Amino acid sequence: MILIINYGSQVTHLIKRRLRGLGVEATIKQPEQVADADFITNDAFILSGGPESVSSQTVLNKKIFTSDKPILGLCFGHQLIAQEFGGAVEQSKTRQYGAAKLTVLDKTDLFAGLDEEQMVWMSHGDSVSELPKQFRVIGKSEDCNHVAIAHYEKKIFGLQFHPEVEHTKNGTQILHNFVKIAGIKPTLTVRNRIQTIITDIQTNVGNASVIMGVSGGVDSLVASYLLHQAIGDHLFCVYVDTGLMRKEETQEVQTIYDTLQFSHFAVVNASELFLKKLYYIADPEEKRKIIGHTFIEIFESTVGKYAQQNKKIQFLGQGTIYPDRVESSQATNSSAKIKSHHNLTLPENMKLKVVEPLRDLYKDEVRQLGKELGINEDYLNRHPFPGPGLAIRVVGPIDKEKIDIVRQADHIFITELKKANLYKDVWQALVALLPIKTVGVMGDARTYEYMISLRAVTSSDAMSADWAKLPNDFLQMVSNKIINLVSGVNRVVYDITQKPPGTIEYE
């Protein structure tokens, strides 16, 4: 077991996620939560990155450094180690954010199996300016002489970069080496993780019933399947047609749940209600809150109907996964809010308690669970689709005409990706309607119509993403089809923004 001490980095949970991938169990705690028992139950410690300077950080359980347990400090944690052992940390003359070249000076222990030069991901304004006594430098970069340091006797290591992110090419190997140094044996498997989730559901829900809104997307499908495995016919799945769905989505979802033989599955057509409440709403946060609250109104109304049949529904099931909570500032006390998530904007007076089987998992882990559960891979490999649906793909004010434009353009884009055998190579593809009109020429006549943005990204966990390098002739063909077939559009652009700095969705 490894204890990760969280100093507020947006990517702290990726450390736990990478360790899980190595079969190693880990927990995350805030610095003030570390207790004496943690020094008995844990085999090693990892100190995360964070947004603060070590000069302003006051919370530190110094027993960590006298516990004789291996320690790995990352970015802020690296600087904390240096300062605690008598080194110096100063504001860097050159800040480093993004890719950097690491020169490995010692290819044993932490860097075993790595080449002399490595691409790593930096995110810092401070750096270690003076090395603590008894520590040695094991890695440097052009702008930083103390990128990696080690105290071999105490098995304490510090890295100025983040091995947990995908941009650090061999970051997982570095974490694997630390696990090996700590003498920890991998024990976690997908199968025992499934059993743990099912047991937790049964313990928390007991003999009560759960109502769950499902979309047919990977997250809600796997979450509902786990709930069904755990509580059987005590699960009531409700698919709400919001009028914000993709073309033919309702029929596809009905087929999926019929095929998987869920005990209770109902379709509620609430498109007029949602469109009425969202009419001409422009603010993305307000859109999400309206959608989240309207879902709850429908669920609680449905619960009332089931109650007349003596069904004891006390819980609301949700397919929230970890990236949803990170961007919604629900992951830690100190992480920054990027956007709210419809699953997390619930009314305070809601009568239902929430159960989230996947709240600590990433999309690729959800797919692994689904595959182990025997769910058809065609269902699992569907691109993510947001709960608020097309509402957050109309940037700015919403009306029915704009929703219809996005729906038609989306159908063309996704259909052509599948025809060209490109769909499986893309993590997520979407169409967004931008809140501007541009001049065009169609049939020798002047037009003044909307601009559509195509977006397709590659990723493994949605915490970071790169734009998909789709063939130029394919993009040209899709652009022509959308302009020719979708009324109201005269210009199509392709978004080549990475995440970060952008997000995958527009709102």
Q: Which residue among 13, 75, 146, 507 is the active-site one?
A: 75
Distance CA 20, CA 360 (A): 11
Judge contact between 503 and 327, C-beta under 8 A.
Answer: yes
Nearest to 363 by CA among 450, 460, 451: 460
Tell me the one-letter amino acid at 401: E
- Comparing CA positions, the residue from 490, 485, 402 lying closest to residue 446 is 490
CB contact at 8 A, 70 and 155: yes
What distance in Å separates the CA atoms of residue 76 and residue 289, rounded to the nearest whole number? 35
Q: What is the distance between the alpha carbons of residues 54 and 46, in angstroms, rounded to a whole number?
A: 16
Query: How far is residue 61 from each of residues 5, 51, 274, 430, measured CA to CA in Å?
Result: 10, 19, 50, 46
Sign of CA dihedral 48, 54, 60, 65: positive
Token pair, residue 419, equals 């025809």
Q: What are phi and psi of 382, to 5 degrees?
A: -65, 140
- What Rg value do the Cα atoms of the chain yield, rounded? 25
Identify whether 237 is a catalytic site residue.
Answer: no
Per DSSP bridges, beta strands 148-151 and 156-159 are antiparallel
DSSP state of 130: E
Neighbour tally for 180: CB within 10 Å: 14
Active-site residue (options: 162, 176, 234, 341): 162
Q: 122 φ, ψ to 5°?
A: -100, 155
Q: 209-213 and 88-104 as β-strands: parallel, antiparallel, unpaired?
A: unpaired
Cα dist from 462 to 22, 384, 442, whole Å: 19, 10, 39
Q: How far is CA 204 from the centre of its chain?
A: 25
Residue 247 is classified by DSSP as T
Q: Find out whether 475 and 469 touch, Cβ atoms under 8 Å.
A: no
Paired strand residues for 241 = 269
- Fill in the DSSP letter of residue 241: E
Amino acid of residue 308 = Q
The single residue of 13, 124, 151, 164 carrying the catalytic annotation is 164
| φ and ψ of 88, to 5 deg | -130, 145
Helix, strand, or coil (residue 429)? strand
Active site residue 144: no
Is-catalytic flag, 162? Answer: yes
| Bridge pairing between strands 148-151 and 136-140 | antiparallel
Please identify every residue annotated as catalytic.
75, 162, 164
